[in-house]
Structure 1
Amino acid sequence: MSTRRHVMRIEPLSAGAFRRYGDVIEASDSAEQFTVNQGGATRYHDLATVDVAAEHGHPVISIFRAQPCNLPLRLQLLERHPIGSQAFIPMGNHPYLVVVAAADTPLGAQHIHCFRASPGQGVNFARGTWHHPVLPLHSVCDFLVIDRGGPAKLPNCEEFALDDLELWIEA
């Protein structure tokens, strides 16, 4: 069976464009904000929905150290977390790519989207959202990750191989 090469368009990451997949975590003017710490800081409040309580889950905070990707890049798999959200907050000042597909759509090339996250933007994948592992663009990048820990009868990570799709990201 021959496959057709599909090249993904890279879109800028914004709260509106990403809403179907989860939350953009950033200190933006649209966030609720107020002064804290005796006037020494501004709090950008309630930026993402942490959804980890199903089946007696609890929040887990980790750091992922991700290697940079080289473009063009052929995507090999997507993953999702059916019983909890997962947030990635970059700890450096580097852009990265976010590849996603909504939980309620078939996994075909036309339903998979790629966003370029600017420095200072994190993402919170809603429960069940398909996504690629993090893709730093230029250098090794650490990400603060908030996701679900705890007992579960179902595994909280499912993978889907993209073998039949020749799906590429190009610069």
Structure 2
Amino acid sequence: MRVEIKPKPLTREAFEKFGEVIEKENMDSLVINRGYAEKFEVCNMDTNEENGNLCLHIYIGKKREFPLHIDMLEKHPFFSQTFLPRSKEPFYSVVALGGREPDLSTLEVFETNGEQGILLNKGTWHFSLLCIKDKEEFFVIDKVSTKQKGKNLVECIEHNIEDKEIYLIKE
């Protein structure tokens, strides 16, 4: 049976079970640098696991075609992940809750306004980067594992849902 999902606006309230919306609207700030800068604390990344360092990446996304088959979900079990758009273009985020496997009854898709970023909580199931336009750029902050005593941190777990026939419909 085919299931169609449609994006809804990204709001703090709607997204809070999956992570945080990164925007400065309606946030308190602190004036710093003798009044020449304003500082907003927009998110707190979870990096409390061992064997890794924070890393700032630049991703360049390719435009997707719709309807889009949501054929897999992934999660990062040991760290949160942050996406900050550089291109000022809206993008989609498909997310779900779950443990060892995603709970598809919690699957939701959000559309940013182009100014918003997202922080995915540690362990949040999500689809890969979903750009509406070609060559959208993002700053992505996450953890890069380092080996210690022969162990390597599992950075990403993928779960195949090809057989579920879930399609993202662009409005």
Q: Which residue among 90, 98, 102 is the counterpart of 1:107?
A: 102
Q: Distance in 1 between matches of 2:32 and 2:115?
A: 20
**Structure 2: distance between partners of 1:75 and 1:143:** 21
Shift of 1:68: 1.2
Give the CA deviation at 1:132. 0.8
One of 135, 147, 150 as aligned partner of 2:145: 150
Structural RMSD (CA): 1.7
CA distance in 2, matches of 1:25, 1:168: 26
Q: Is the 8 A contact 1:89 1:144 kept in 2?
A: yes
Q: Mark the runs of 5 or more structure 1 residues left unpaired by the alignment.
A: none
Q: 1:44 aligns with which of 40, 47, 56?
A: 40
**Match of 1:32?**
28
Q: Distance in 2 between matches of 1:41 and 1:137?
A: 33
Letter in 2 for 1:157: C
Deviations 1:78-122 (A, max 9, x none): 110001111110101100000000134953542211000111100
> 1:18-55: CA deviations, max 9, x gaps?
111111111111x221233443443222x112112302
Task: For 1:10, give the aligned amino acid.
Answer: P
Secondary structure of the structure 2 residue equivalent to 1:23: strand
Residue of structure 1 in register with 2:52 after alignment: 57
Q: Secondary structure at the match of 1:114?
A: strand
**In structure 2, C-alpha distance between the alignment counterparts of 1:167 and 1:93, rounded to whole Å:** 28
Q: 1:56 to 1:106 in 2, by over 3 A?
A: closer
Q: CA deviation at 1:126?
A: 0.7
| Structure 2 Cα separation of the partners of residues 27 and 145 of structure 1 | 18
- Once residues 72 and 59 of structure 1 are traced to their aligned partners in structure 2, the CA distance between those partners, rounded to angstroms, is 35
- Bigger shift: 103-112 or 6-15? 103-112
Residue from 16, 20, 26 that aligns with 1:19? 16
Structure 1 residue matching 2:158: 3-state secondary structure: strand
**Secondary structure of the corresponding residue to residue 53 of structure 1:** coil
- TM-score, normalization by structure 1: 0.89
What runs of 5+ residues in structure 2 fail to find an aligned partner? Answer: none
Total equivalences in the alignment: 166
3-state secondary structure, aligned to 2:46: coil
Structure 1 match to 2:160 = 161
Q: Identity over the aligned pairs, expressed in percent?
A: 28
- Give the alignment's TM-score, normalised by structure 2: 0.89
Pairing of 1:63-78 with structure 2 (within 5 A): 63-78=58-73
Shift of residue 150 of structure 1? 2.7
1:76 to partner: Cα distance = 1.6
State the distance in 2 between where 1:137 and 1:78 align: 19
